[in-house]
Amino acid sequence: MCCNDVVNSLESFIQRLSDTIHTDAMQLESHLQSSPPLILLLDGVDSALDPLSPEAEEIHARIEEFGSYEHVCLVTTSRMYPDIHGFHRVEIPTPPEDGARDIFYSLCNLGRSPALDTLVAKLDFHPFSIQLFARTIRENSWDEQALLKMWDYHTSALRTSYYQGLKNAVEPVFRSPKIKELGTKARDVLEAIASFRFGIGEHQLEGIFHGTGGVSQGGS
């Protein structure tokens, strides 16, 4: 179950989980208690456990409860460490260079080349950066020549910093036609959000960017 698009409420979490295992939300607990042994994956669980969500503690408690069932193997993935009682933490290392390149090419639909290999290396083989960059290439139908031109255009003005790898990934995204259609306000907000390592929840937008009216709807 992917948690990234779960609205931060217990009801939404329970409903999404129930839909995933094909049962009624009212029967979820009894279904899990009586089901055969199963592996339940909560991908991106940190999104559902956003500490600013008013129901994060309730969701946290239900996850702990489901994980306590002897026949349920509960696996979570997260960009930050969720403090869930009884869970064993496993660090996932950065993929090897060849693996990172394989991921990039499988997502962007471009042919392999030394020039593109170099771009992937400049992203420090960071999985999120690779995914974001490759998806943008695919959605904008860039060929290798267009991509390299876009890359050269923005890197000539960049300064080296702690966030250089991530900035290299997101800057072409901001210059893509799809983002330009949203207007300058959306670009400014997205550029600010990119500096948050773990992202921010949609419900936090108005609070953080309170001086930018209508930020949750985008605009120009």
CB-CB contact of 154 with 164 (8 Å) = no
SS3 assignment for 92-109: CCCCCHHHHHHHHHHHHC
Please give the pLDDT value at position 200: 53
Q: In the chain, which stretches have pLDDT less than 50?
A: 157-163, 197-198, 210-211, 215, 218-220
Amino acid at 196: F
Please give the pLDDT value at position 189: 64
Backbone angles phi, psi at 73, to 5 degrees: -95, 105
15, burial (CB in 10 Å: exposed 0-12, middle 13-18, buried 19+): middle
Please give the pLDDT value at position 176: 64
Compute the distance between CA of residue 47 and CA of residue 218 in angstroms, rounded to an integer.
Answer: 21
Compute the distance between CA of residue 46 and CA of residue 198 in angstroms, rounded to an integer.
Answer: 9
Please give the pLDDT value at position 209: 53
> Which CA distances in Å does 171 have to 119, 125, 159?
13, 17, 13
At 15-61, the pLDDT tens digits run 888 988 888 988 888 888 888 888 888 888 877 887 777 888 898 89
Which of 170, 151, 168 lies closest to 160 in space, CA to CA?
A: 168
Please give the pLDDT value at position 81: 72
- List all residues 6 or more positions away from 155 whose beta carbon is below 8 Å from its beta carbon: 168, 171
Which of 91, 5, 92, 80 lies closest to 48 in space, CA to CA?
A: 5
Please give the pLDDT value at position 205: 56
Q: Tokens in use for 73?
A: 């193997």
Q: What percentage of the chain exceeds 70 in pLDDT?
A: 67
Write down the pTM of the prediction.
Answer: 0.49
SS3 assignment, position 74 = strand
